[in-house]
C-alpha cells in the first residue's frame, strides 16, 4: 500500500516524527503516542500496525495501546481495506482540528480535575460556621483560582469551534485586536513609569 519515497522525503518524515515526539510533553501526551501520530500524519496514507512498529522500533503492545489512545482523542481512525485482514490507521490531516482536539483533551484531562480538586478543597473550609481572617483570605484566593479556571473553560469551549481554516480571517483580526490592546497597555504603562 505504501508508495516508495525518496531518501530526502524519508529523512524529512523521520525528523518530523522525532520533533513531534520531543514536543509530546508540551502537548500533554507521551512520546510514543506523539511519534505514532506524527508518522501517520506525515505519511498521509494509512499504515498497518506492523509498519508502525517497524518504523518506530516499538513493541506491538506499545503500538496498540497508543493507537487506542489516539483513536480516543479522535486524532487517528481505523481504516479497513477490502480483502485485507490487517487493520490500517490514518491520522486526521487538518492541523486546525488536530490542535483543537489536543486543547480539548488537555482541558478535559488536566484543567477540569484541577478545578474539581479546588472546589473540593473549598468544601472543607466552607462547612465551618465562622471563618477566621486567614481562612477567609485563603478561601478568597482559592475562589479566584476556581473563577479563573471556569472562565478559561468557557473561553476555550466558546472559541474552539471557530479554530479552523475557514475562520482564519476572523482569527487574524482577533489576534490583531489582542496585540493592539497589549501594545496600548504597554505604552500606557511605560508613560506612567516615565512620569
Domain regions of the chain by residue span = 7-92, 103-161, 164-195
Classify burial at 158, counting beta carbons within 10 Å of its beta carbon; exposed 0-12, middle 13-18, buried 19 or more: exposed
Answer left, alpha or beta for residue 91, where phi above 0 means left and psi between -120 and 50 means alpha. Answer: beta
Q: What is the pTM of this model?
A: 0.71
If you average pLDDT over every residue of the chain, what do you get? 86
Read off the pLDDT of residues 114-151 as tens digits, 9 standing for 90 and up.
999 999 988 888 777 788 889 889 999 999 999 999 99
Class of domain 7-92: mainly alpha
Distances (CA, A) of 93 to 97, 112, 159: 8, 28, 21
- Contact criterion met (CB below 8 Å) for 16 and 42: yes
> Which of 52-56, 148-152, 177-181 shows the highest mean pLDDT?
52-56
- The pLDDT of residue 28: 73
Burial 161-179, CB ≥16 within 10 A → b, else e: eebbeeeeeeeeeeeeeee
- The pLDDT of residue 193: 62
Q: In the predicted model, is pLDDT for residue 190 greater than 70?
A: no
Cell digits for 161?
A: 469551534
Amino acid at each position: 500500500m505504501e508508495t516508495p519515497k525518496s531518501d530526502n522525503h524519508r529523512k524529512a518524515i523521520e525528523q518530523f516524527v522525532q520533533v513531534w515526539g520531543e514536543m509530546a510533553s508540551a502537548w500533554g501526551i507521551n512520546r510514543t503516542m506523539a511519534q505514532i501520530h506524527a508518522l501517520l500524519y506525515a505519511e498521509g496514507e494509512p499504515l498497518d500496525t506492523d509498519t508502525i512498529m517497524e518504523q518506530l522500533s516499538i513493541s506491538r503492545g506499545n503500538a496498540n495501546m497508543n493507537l487506542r489512545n489516539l483513536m480516543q482523542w479522535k486524532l487517528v481512525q481505523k481504516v479497513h481495506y477490502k480483502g485485507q485482514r490487517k487493520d490500517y490507521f490514518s491520522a486526521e490531516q487538518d492541523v486546525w482540528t488536530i490542535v483543537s482536539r489536543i486543547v480539548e483533551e488537555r482541558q478535559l484531562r488536566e484543567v477540569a480535575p484541577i478545578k474539581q480538586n479546588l472546589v473540593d478543597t473549598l468544601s472543607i473550609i466552607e462547612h465551618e460556621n465562622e471563618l477566621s481572617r486567614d481562612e477567609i483570605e485563603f478561601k478568597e484566593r482559592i475562589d479566584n483560582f476556581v473563577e479563573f479556571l471556569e472562565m478559561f473553560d468557557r473561553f476555550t469551549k466558546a472559541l474552539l469551534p471557530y479554530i479552523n481554516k475557514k475562520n482564519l480571517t476572523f482569527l487574524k483580526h482577533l489576534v490583531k485586536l489582542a496585540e493592539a490592546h497589549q501594545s496600548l497597555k504597554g505604552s500606557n504603562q511605560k508613560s506612567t513609569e516615565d512620569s
